Amino acid sequence: MKLHTIYKYQLLDHRNAVLIFCAVILAVMALVPMQVTFSNTLSTSYESTRITGIDMAPAVFLFICGLSAFKENFLFALQNGVSRKSLFVNRNYVAVTLAVVMALFSLLLLALGKLIESPASGITYSGLLSMIYQSTGTASFSGLLEYLVSFLFLTVLFIAAQALGYFITVALYRMNKKLKISSIIGFYIVIFVVLPIIDMFLSGRISTILLSFLDVSMGISVHNPFIGMFSLIILSIIVSGFTWVLLKNAGVKN
Amino acid sequence: MNGIEINDVTKTFGDTLALNQVNLTFEPHKIYGLLGRNGAGKSTLLNIITNRLFADSGTITIDGLAGSENDQIQGLIYLMSEKNLYPESMTCNEAFKWTKQFFKDFDLDYAHNLATQFKLNTKKKIRSLSTGYTSIFKIIIALSVNTPYVLFDEPVLGLDANHRELFYRLLIKKYSDNAFTAIISTHLIEEIANLLEYVMIIKNGEILVNESCETLLSKGYSVTGTIKQVDTFIADKEVIGEDVLGGLKTATIIGSINKSTLPDGIEITSLDLQKLFIKLTNEEQSNETTYNL
Considering only CB atoms, B71 lies closest to which of A2, A8, A252, namely A2
CB contact under 8 A, B54 and A2: no
Give the span between the Cα atoms of B20 and B10, in whole angstroms: 5
At A194 the pLDDT is 93
CB A167 within 8 A of CB A239: yes
Give the span between the Cα atoms of B143 and B180, in whole angstroms: 11
B222 min Cα distance to partner chain A (Å)? 40
CB A78 within 8 A of CB A142: no
Selection from B208, B231, B211, B227 nearest residue B271 by Cα: B211
Looking at per-residue pLDDT, the higher value among B233 and B133 belongs to: B133
At B1 the pLDDT is 59
CB neighbours of A238 closer than 8 A, spacing ≥ 6? none
CB contact under 8 A, A251 and B53: yes
Alpha helices, DSSP H only, in chain B? 42-49, 71-74, 92-102, 108-118, 131-144, 161-177, 189-192, 213-217, 227-234, 273-281, 283-288
Confidence band (pLDDT; 50, 70, 90) for B283?
A: low
pLDDT one-digit tens code per residue, A143-166: 788 889 999 999 999 999 999 999
Confidence band (pLDDT; 50, 70, 90) for B293?
A: low
Please provide residue B19's backbone torsions phi and psi, each rounded to the nearest 5 degrees: -135, 135
At B288 the pLDDT is 44
Please provide residue B237's backbone torsions phi and psi, each rounded to the nearest 5 degrees: -115, 165
Selection from A122, A152, A119 nearest residue A225 by Cα: A152
Confidence band (pLDDT; 50, 70, 90) for A23?
A: very high
CB B96 within 8 A of CB B122: yes
How long, in residues, is chain A? 254
Question: What domains are there in chain B, each with its CATH number?
Answer: 4-215 (3.40.50.300), 218-288 (3.30.70)
Confidence band (pLDDT; 50, 70, 90) for B263?
A: confident
pLDDT one-digit tens code per residue, B144-173: 999 999 999 999 999 999 999 999 999 999
Please state the pTM of the whole predicted model.
0.88
Looking at per-residue pLDDT, the higher value among A19 and B266 belongs to: A19
Asked whether residue A126 carries a pLDDT value surpassing 90, the answer given is no
A58 min Cα distance to partner chain B (Å)? 25
Asked whether residue A136 carries a pLDDT value surpassing 90, the answer given is no
Rounded average pLDDT over B105-133: 97
**B131-144 and B92-102 helices, crossing angle to 10°:** 30
Asked whether residue A138 carries a pLDDT value surpassing 60, the answer given is no
At B289 the pLDDT is 47
Residue of B nearest to A70 (CA): B87
Give the span between the Cα atoms of B94 and B272, in whole angstroms: 43
Tell me the β-bridge partners of B272: none
For chain A, list residues whose CB is within 8 angstroms of any CB belonging to chain B: 1-3, 5-6, 8-9, 72, 75-76, 78-86, 249, 251-252, 254
B199-B78-A246 Cα angle (round to 5): 110
Considering only CB atoms, A81 lies closest to which of B47, B86, B102, namely B102
A171 min Cα distance to partner chain B (Å)? 17
Asked whether residue B114 carries a pLDDT value surpassing 70, the answer given is yes
CB B155 within 8 A of CB B186: yes
Give the span between the Cα atoms of B46 and A235, in whole angstroms: 38
CB A42 within 8 A of CB A34: no
Confidence band (pLDDT; 50, 70, 90) for B18?
A: very high
CB neighbours of B4 closer than 8 A, spacing ≥ 6? B24, B25, B26, B49, B60, B61, B62, B67, B77, B149, B181
Asked whether residue A99 carries a pLDDT value surpassing 90, the answer given is yes
Rounded average pLDDT over B192-203: 92
- In DSSP notation, B158-205 reads T--HHHHHHHHHHHHHHHHHS--EEEEE-S-HHHHTTT-SEEEEEETT
The dihedral built from the CA positions of residue B108, B114, B117 and B121, taken in this order, carries a sign that is: negative
Q: Is A119 exposed, middle or buried (0-12, 13-18, 19+ CB in 10 A)?
A: exposed
At B275 the pLDDT is 82
At B284 the pLDDT is 53
Q: Which range (A122-131, A136-145, B100-109, B118-127) has the least confidence? A: A136-145
The dihedral built from the CA positions of residue B176, B177, B179 and B184, taken in this order, carries a sign that is: negative
Selection from B18, B106, B101 nearest residue B54 by Cα: B18
Give the span between the Cα atoms of B75 and B73, in whole angstroms: 5
Beta strands at B31-36 and B198-203: parallel, antiparallel or unpaired:
parallel
Residues of A in contact with B47 (CB under 8 A): 251-252
The dihedral built from the CA positions of residue B152, B155, B161 and B167, taken in this order, carries a sign that is: negative
Average pLDDT, chain B: 91
Q: What does DSSP assign to residue B40?
A: S
- In DSSP notation, B251-267 reads EEEES---GGGPPTT-E
Q: Which amino acid is located at A32 in the chain?
A: V
Q: Which range (A37-46, A126-135, B93-102) has the least confidence? A: A37-46
Looking at per-residue pLDDT, the higher value among A140 and B20 belongs to: B20
CB A33 within 8 A of CB A49: no
pLDDT one-digit tens code per residue, A74-95: 999 999 999 999 999 999 999 9
Rounded average pLDDT over B80-107: 96
Residues of B in contact with A72 (CB under 8 A): 87
Asked whether residue B115 carries a pLDDT value surpassing 50, the answer given is yes
Structural domain boundaries of chain A? 2-174+219-247
Q: Which range (A100-109, B69-78, B259-268) has the least confidence? A: B259-268
Looking at per-residue pLDDT, the higher value among A185 and A123 belongs to: A185
Percentage of residues in chain A having pLDDT higher than 70: 90
Give the span between the Cα atoms of B205 and B36, in whole angstroms: 9
Considering only CB atoms, B74 lies closest to which of A72, A81, A252, namely A81
What is the CB neighbour count within 10 angstroms for residue B82? 17
CB contact under 8 A, A83 and B69: yes
CB contact under 8 A, A3 and B71: yes
B119: left (phi over 0), alpha (psi -120 to 50) or beta: left
pLDDT one-digit tens code per residue, A186-196: 999 999 999 99
At A55 the pLDDT is 80
Task: Tell me how many residue pairs between chain A and chain B have CB atoms under 8 A apart.
Answer: 65
CB B63 within 8 A of CB B7: no
Considering only CB atoms, B71 lies closest to which of A8, A72, A83, namely A83
pLDDT one-digit tens code per residue, B229-244: 898 888 888 888 888 8
Q: What does DSSP assign to residue B98?
A: H
When computed from its CA atoms, the radius of gyration of chain A, rounded to whole angstroms, is 21
Q: Which amino acid is located at A53 in the chain?
A: G
Rounded average pLDDT over B96-102: 96
At B238 the pLDDT is 84
CB B233 within 8 A of CB B266: yes
